[in-house]
Homo-oligomer: A and B are copies of this chain.
Amino acid sequence: MRIAIDVMGGDHAPAKILDGAVQALGLLDSGDQLLLVGNREVIESHLHVQGVNHAGKIKIEHASQVITMDDSPVEAIRGKRDSSIVRMVRLGKEGHADALISAGNTGALVAAGVLMLKPLAGVDRPGIAVFLPSTKGGVLLCDAGANIQPKPAHLYQYAVLASMYCSALGRSESPSVGLLNVGTEEEKGTPVVKEARALIEADSSIRFAGYIEGRDIPNHPCDVLITDGFTGNVTLKVAEGFSTALLQSLQRESAAQGAQFAATLKPMIARVLKQYDHEEVGGALLLGVQGIFLKVHGSAGSRAIKNAVAAAKSLGKLSINSAIERRLAATNKTIQ
């Protein structure tokens, strides 16, 4: 398995990303290889200082540019052709890498994935899956913004993709799948939502949990939550925005209770905030494209990178993409 790692993306790049890659060397089987994408000189000097003897386990793919967190995603992908993100995704596109890992600009990664990678057979449009915080370790939301005007068949495909990924990640053997809606009653929703429900319910291999309302997400009403990319993107950002604002206003209030109280509250707030920050609960997965595409959170340290390599290895062993293609080949025929 060839796993490409964007060495230049994330708050602690390149040092912590490279440290993580070095730690991950122990996870590789014979024949596996890490492809480190970024500035060759920086990578070589870091590996040299650390005295790493990688003996063919590491290959360096030079990229002269970096897409920053402030870059506009689509412009950056088009303008920075020699950036580590574009170079990494091209390795996937051209069949030189089986898995892609980056802690860089989420929007740019998704744009590169959607614009540059080929979808799997049977998948009409790739989707973004992210974990929303919940009482049982996170609800996998799909789509979080790749496809803002999906057809019912796309939503059905997301249900298949996300539930197979959810199993593969070891979250649940038989994940329950909900459909985000304005109410739980059967008559609620747009025609697209209702048709998607019919397609999902007709597939007996999906454990359908019914319509789910936004206020119930934190109580883990289902393992996988399907919605269109417009609503999914807004959901993600509203959850993030209100969680942050609310804890900030609590922190301000705490000042009135004296310095000691505020000092005790501060790390508590940081812990809760971390739990409610979607970047912390697994980052984003780009589903429905060739290969395995993992977005690690921007504040990723070496351990997160090592874990992402481990996840890529597990997902690779499961041949999840070919399983998805077989399953969609069977069902898409009947729904189109």
Q: How many copies does the complex hold?
A: 2
Q: Does A148 contact B (CB under 8 A)?
A: yes
Q: Does A205 contact B (CB under 8 A)?
A: no
- Determine the distance from Cα of A257 to Cα of B269 in the docked complex, in whole angstroms: 13
Tell whether A275 pairs with B247 under 8 Å between CB atoms, given A234-B235, A257-B264: no
What DSSP secondary structure best describes chain A's contact surface?
Answer: helix
Q: Contact at A242–B182, with CB atoms within 8 Å?
A: no
Known: A149-B190, A182-B230, A185-B72. Contact between A238 and B250, CB under 8 A?
A: no
User: Across the interface, do A250 and B234 meet the contact criterion of CB distance under 8 Å?
Assistant: no
Instruction: Please state if A243 and B246 are interface contacts (CB–CB under 8 Å).
Output: yes
Q: Give which listed residue, B107, B145, B247, B261, contacts A246 with CB less than 8 A.
A: B247
With contacts A250-B272, A265-B265, A272-B246 taken as known, whether A235 is within 8 angstroms of B238 at the C-beta atoms is yes
Q: Evaluate contact between A234 and B246: CB separation under 8 angstroms.
A: no
- Residue in B133, B234, B261 whose beta carbon sits within 8 Å of that of A214 in the complex: B234
Give the residue of B148, B239, B242, B275 whose beta carbon is less than 8 angstroms from that of A189: B148
Apart from A148-B190, A149-B191, A250-B269, what are 20 other A-B pairs with CB-CB below 8 Å?
Answer: A148-B189, A180-B234, A182-B230, A214-B234, A214-B235, A214-B241, A215-B240, A215-B241, A217-B241, A218-B241, A242-B243, A242-B276, A243-B243, A246-B247, A247-B250, A249-B272, A250-B250, A250-B272, A253-B272, A257-B268
